[in-house]
A and B are shown apart, each in its own frame.
Chain A
Amino acid sequence: MSGLVIITFLPIIAGCILALAPLPNDTVRKASLAVTLAILAISIPLMWNFGEAYRAVSPEVSEAANSPMPFVYETNVKWIETFNINFHIGVDGLSMPFVFLTAFLCPLCILASWGIGEKVRGYFALFLLLEGGMIGTFVALDLFLFYVFWELMLLPMYFLIGIWGGPRKEYAAIKFFLYTLFGSIFLFIAMLVLYWKTGTFSLVELPGHEGLGDLKWWVQIALFLGLYVAFAIKIPAFPFHTWLPDAHVEAPTAISVILAGILLKMGTYAIFRISFPIFPVATAWFCTPLAVLAVINIVYGALCAMAQTDFKKLVAYSSISHMGFVMLGMAVYKEEAMQGAVFQMFNHGCITAMLFLLVGVIYDRAHHRDLAGFGGLVKPMPLYGGYAAFAFFAALGLPGLSGFISESLVFLGAFQEQKLLACIGTLGILLGAAYMLWTYQRVFMGPVNEKYKDYKDMNKIEIASLLPLAVMVLVLGIFPFIFLDMLAPTVSNLLAHLHVGREEYEAMRTAAEQVAMNLHP
């Protein structure tokens, strides 16, 4: 049995067992930590061997545009034969990093939820279920299977926010749920239309399927837009983002980490996986609007972040800003930018996870997150201040840390296509530095607030949940090629497909212009 199957189902099964077995709380915690660590242990060799395995199946550069996108570690079993639905899973360079990221973040989140005191069994069971859903979404190569996991992920999230959340948890949970469900409708419709046209759900067969050839261009665009709405909600892209701050503010720390670290990546990942390869022509049509939306996301998110007084809300808005970089990288047909976008997704996962964990640390002590209420925290908590400085600098794109590499790659690529937008987008870097430093100044620097002068520094569990992330951010910041080399063949395969679509689109446009010219000479 392939490792992917194991890591997809292990958490789900373990979650079910935990939900039923009447174990003492401490055992539950340790058991779920063991399960997540086991998943991490399985995913590490998968990640390690991935580059070589993928290169082995990857087509020649000249052939890339005509051959289907390759995958590795595939498992393909018939599921519902009547509708040609298969249990088809596998990974390529777009999904492998995120499978790994999920496996990497989950043990840390378990550590961060060590202090959860009520309904412990339910919490950890749901958490494991969530992990299974997330990994499943990343590895699914069948649209139907993808949809199943996509929704499966939603449910535990709803309960985790709705039961263990903050004061307005019901509002936040329902908002999150309805919002995402609203998006899912579009996904569902698109899925049905695709099935109806082609008779398959396979994400390997759908790109370039001849059944799609006779789709009218406006149907393509409508489907693309529908899918975009579905995924933009998850990203979250302006103007579908307002669920995020609420969900983040109310969610418990570990759930915020998962939400920002992995769930937000689902949106962009799905665009990469579904929208782009299946509708290359519509992609070409949409890339400029997408870039504009991306820049709005960047600048708008940063400005909104600046105005927040709630620590977590600030981080939430910064997520919106940072996901804008990903969108900008996606919107241009450049290798640098695409790699940068995927890398940025990964980095944002690590960095924002750190930020949320840090917020959690102080929230556990002070029980509020009002930025104006702190001050001079470095003095009682030097270690915390140090980690916070590291994370904040990582978030504002300090060179030497991974976020900088991805952001600059995105911009290097974007500038080649969209000069003006890229220049406006760089404002985001400045604003990012502004709000991050301003926050750092308000919380950590300045005179010590008397209320907090006896606070204990971070304990071992908190350090254990932060240190791996910090190391990851630092190592990838100095040796980004570890990641990028693994990614490169996938991105160039995808780009080869996209370029074909773009040429088709250009040809269509020229033809249309010709017609217009003839009509109005």
Chain B
Amino acid sequence: MSPTLLFLSGLILLGAYCAYRLTTAGAKPSPSQWVTGIVLLGGLILDNLATGMATKGLLICLLPLLSFWILMFFGRNHLPSGGDWIAMIAIGLSLCLSYSIYHQAIGAYESGDEFFYHQSEGNIASFEWIAFTNPDTGERTPWKLGFWIDSLTAIMLMVVAGISFLVHLFSLGYMKGEENYSRYFGYLGIFSFSMLLLVLTDNLFVLYICWELVGVSSFLLIGFFINKDSAAAAAKKAFLTNRVGDLGFAIGLFIVYNNFHTFSIREIFDALANGAMADSPWTLTFMGLGLFCGAVGKSAQFPLHIWLPDAMEGPTPVSALIHAATMVAAGVYLVARLFPVFNDTAFLVIAYIGTFTAIMAATIAITQFDIKRVLAYSTLSQLGYMVAALGVGAYSAALFHLTTHAFFKALLFLCSGSVIHALHHEQDMRNMGGLAGKTKVTFITMLVGTLAISGVPFFSGFYSKDKILAGALEMGMINPHHAIIFIALLLAAGITAFYMFRLIFMTFTGKPRDRHAWEHAHEGPWTMQVPLVVLAILAICSGWTHLGLGGFFQERVVPWGTEAQVATHHADAPTLFTTAAFAQEEGTAVEEHSAHGEAHDEPVANAAAMHEEGHHDVQHTAHVVAMILSILVATSGIILSALTYWERIRVIDPAKCARAMGPVYDLVYNKYYVDEFYARTFYRGLEIVRNVLARFDLRIIDGIVNGAGRVTVFTSGKSGRFDLRVVDRIVDWIAEVCQHYGQRIRRVESGVIQDYALKVGGAFGTMVILWMIVRSFFIGA
């Protein structure tokens, strides 16, 4: 079984790595390295001890967090070799534990048991967070935080932890010698933590928290080369664009809370199943679209796709991990997780946005020359595929594609990283060429990845893509006016094959265009090659149905509330992509036919039977047709590409083509001017508004205040002048008179103290005599 294989190879790699570190770090292993070994052993034992799902879940997400904190505080100065081994151990243990969960899920699938763990099921611990009074019941109800572990979680855990582990390994070689080496691993730790918790949690609020946290770690990692202007700008752009989407997400959450007063996914689903909000379809639509906004931001769907190509400023392993395999898939995961809350309108929007993104990004990818940008646009396009798949109801196909895409896209990115590393940070494909002989491992693994993404049979991408196309076709057959989705997706598949092989041909074949770089090109260290090989194996075989994975998806990774094995035609499922639409139409038709007194439930039963049958027919037809068409399209794309870019058999000159296309080429080359459009409208608008407001604030509001001050000063000036000219004049005059006479009187002041005493005595005597005279005068009178 391939999962077991993966797990074992992971373990072996881990062990090998630690042995490697212990032997090469110096003659005497430092105490901390001994500790490492002990911790590692302890962790493996822990894996066996942590039998409870909750313990496993907690360990899975908290270990990378721990590594983040350790590295941030002690990484640079206090740990040998920057503490990278801590990050390796943490993610390694997470991977072990993730595998054990996955193993249980697969085991349950094989034995036909249920696989679902949630806090309400009893064996998952829950944590009571903040509490509020529920207005419906009047009771204080805490928000319960817990885990929701089902097959989807298991597979997501495996994808995230697995690729994260491989990227860690790859980074050991790729990032060697970079400044802030240990900070880099710290950032990877916080990313792994938030992404793992994102897939584990059962609470939308926590999910939102993780959602933002992955955004931040993405910000940190894109801006890792912090002193590069473009990296800084790209990081900011990524975060802000995501924030726009998150705004919608947040509003969606407000609607959720307003209606359900809980964020527990399970409780929301239960309430929905019990008919809550059945009478407010518009609110439901808004809620769904709001939540989808988050996905649009994170999964870089049109119109918020602009950040992803710029995000390639980050280190290449980061692009592989975050911007290809895991974080950007979070949007798809979100829509999948919340599948039951969307209604028909929302699904239509989702489908069209996904389709549009798929085809738009694919066309742009043809024209790009930066190897990472091509891959970025290809990622966009594939994400569009997944979103469109969810929109058309091909739930398990979308997640299947998510998984296979994670493997082959991570592979492609790591390969491109290997190429870039080999050419000393040269990213322009026009300066590459002829590398096939120089870097054999990279060439072969990249070819594998390309074949997988192009949808060549027997490679994983073929199976998943085929399923999506089948789903789209099915939906198109049920609702013929939406058939355009299928056609667009098919076209996008062809274009994908074309531009991916363009990349291969330009990079690995032909004559080297930059001979100097070519001569110095070399394969990376083994830490870089091992992940490539592992991923290549996964890119080939993760789609093979006979290994069980395809079946697992088909039967186990299904929306909540639908019975296993009957993924897409549950009675409660939305009507858009089930034959329920058929059933209704036919039902009404039959009803009209039998309007004359026949029993009412008979035609309905008829219709149900017909729709059951019809659905199977549709499914089968769609499958076959889609498979044939997709093989055809992929082959023609590859051939066309070879004719254009493989120098040995070239018959078409791409430059001439570009000239012939003229303005169309320019349009596509400049990414449909979306960036420019935003710059001219939103950025410029914001700039104008903020400048106007700032000026308003300074001139008008503050002006009023200062004006009031000035009026006061003016009045006080006037009154001051009155004071000076009139009031003060009088005072002065009095003073002058006093002074005049004072000059005369002051001669009395001799300065001789005896004199004063005499005068005092004399005055006293005079006064007494006067008083006596007056008294006697009056009394005498």
Contact = CB atoms under 8 A, between A and B. Distances in A.
B573 interface: no
B254 A378 contact: no
B240 A434 contact: yes
B229 A447 contact: yes
Interface in B694-731: 694, 697, 701-702, 705, 709
B693 to A, nearest CB: 5
B227 A307 contact: no
Given A399-B208, A404-B209, A411-B254, A306 B690 contact: yes
Contact of B223 (A433, A438, A445, A481): A445
A412 interface: yes
Interface string A434-465: 10011011001111100000000000000000
Interface in B206-224: 208-213, 216, 219-220, 223
Interface string B123-134: 000000111110
Nearest to B143: A481
A429 B243 CA distance: 8
A416 B133 contact: no
B212 A437 contact: no
A100 interface: no
A242 B705 CA distance: 8
Dominant SS among interface residues on chain B? helix
A243 B702 CA distance: 8
B257 A306 contact: no
Contact of B227 (A175, A379, A386, A438): A379
B258 A306 contact: no
Interface residues of A, number: 57
Which of A335, A427, A480 has the most chain B CB within a 10 Å cutoff?
A335
> How extensive is the interface on chain B, given as a class?
35 or more
A399 B212 contact: yes
B570 interface: no
A155 interface: no
Interface string B361-389: 00000000000000000000000000000
Contacts of B140: 488
A433 B239 contact: yes
Nearest to A448: B227
Contacts of A434: 240, 243, 686
A426 B250 contact: yes
A57 B243 CA distance: 44
A364 interface: no
B705 A175 contact: yes
B209 A427 contact: no
B244 interface: yes
B693 A300 contact: yes
B226 A398 contact: no
A433 B233 CA distance: 14
A243 B705 CA distance: 9
B258 A415 contact: yes
A215 B236 CA distance: 55
A353 interface: no
B131 A398 contact: no
Given A445-B232, A481-B130, A304 B240 contact: no
A239 interface: yes
A165 B265 CA distance: 53
Interface string B442-456: 000000000000000
A515 to B, nearest CB: 32
Interface in A175-217: 175, 178-179
Contacts of A416: 257-258
Nearest to B263: A412
Interface string A487-512: 01000100000000000000000000
B689 interface: yes
Contacts of B180: 382
B187 to A, nearest CB: 11
A103 B244 CA distance: 38
Nearest to A488: B131
Contact of A304 (B226, B235, B243, B694): B694
B44 interface: no
Contact of A411 (B133, B235, B250): B250
B697 A430 contact: no
Contacts of B129: 480-481
A225 B663 CA distance: 62
A404 B701 CA distance: 31
Given A303-B693, A306-B690, A484-B130, A423 B227 contact: no
Given A303-B689, A446-B232, A308 B227 contact: no
Contacts of B702: 242
B66 interface: no
B53 to A, nearest CB: 22
Interface in A7-27: none
A480 B143 CA distance: 12
Which of B133, B140, B232 has the most chain A CB within a 10 Å cutoff?
B232
B243 to A, nearest CB: 5
Nearest to A385: B226
A433 B258 contact: no
A408 interface: yes
A415 B257 contact: yes
Contact of A447 (B132, B227, B251, B694): B227
A430 B247 contact: yes
Given A433-B243, A481-B129, A445 B226 contact: yes
B9 interface: no
Interface in A367-424: 376, 378-379, 382, 385-386, 389, 393, 398-400, 404-405, 408, 411-412, 415-416, 422-423
A60 interface: no
Contacts of A175: 705
Contacts of A131: none
A307 B216 contact: no
Contact of A426 (B131, B236, B251, B693): B251
A441 B705 CA distance: 34
A130 B697 CA distance: 30
A513 interface: no
A445 B227 contact: yes
B690 A304 contact: yes
Contacts of B254: 411-412, 415, 422-423
A515 B671 CA distance: 63
Given A304-B694, A400-B213, A446-B232, A412 B240 contact: no
B402 to A, nearest CB: 24
B242 to A, nearest CB: 9
Given A242-B701, A433-B240, A378 B227 contact: yes
Contacts of A389: 220
Contact of A398 (B205, B216, B235): B216
Contact of A242 (B216, B258, B697): B697
Contacts of B247: 426-427, 429-430
A142 interface: no
A178 B229 CA distance: 45
B555 to A, nearest CB: 35
Contacts of B255: 415
B2 interface: no
B691 interface: yes
Nearest to A433: B243
Contacts of B690: 303-304, 306-307
A467 to B, nearest CB: 12
Given A399-B210, A405-B130, A415-B258, 15 more contacts: A242-B705, A243-B705, A306-B690, A307-B690, A335-B132, A339-B132, A398-B213, A408-B250, A415-B257, A434-B686, A437-B240, A441-B232, A446-B232, A484-B131, A488-B140
**Which 7 A-B residue pairs are closest in the complex by CB-CB distance?**
A445-B232, A307-B694, A399-B209, A415-B254, A242-B702, A307-B690, A306-B690
29 contacts: A242-B701, A242-B702, A243-B705, A303-B689, A303-B690, A303-B693, A303-B694, A304-B690, A306-B690, A379-B226, A379-B227, A382-B180, A386-B72, A399-B208, A399-B213, A411-B250, A415-B251, A415-B254, A416-B258, A430-B244, A434-B686, A438-B236, A441-B233, A441-B235, A441-B236, A445-B229, A445-B231, A446-B227, A481-B129
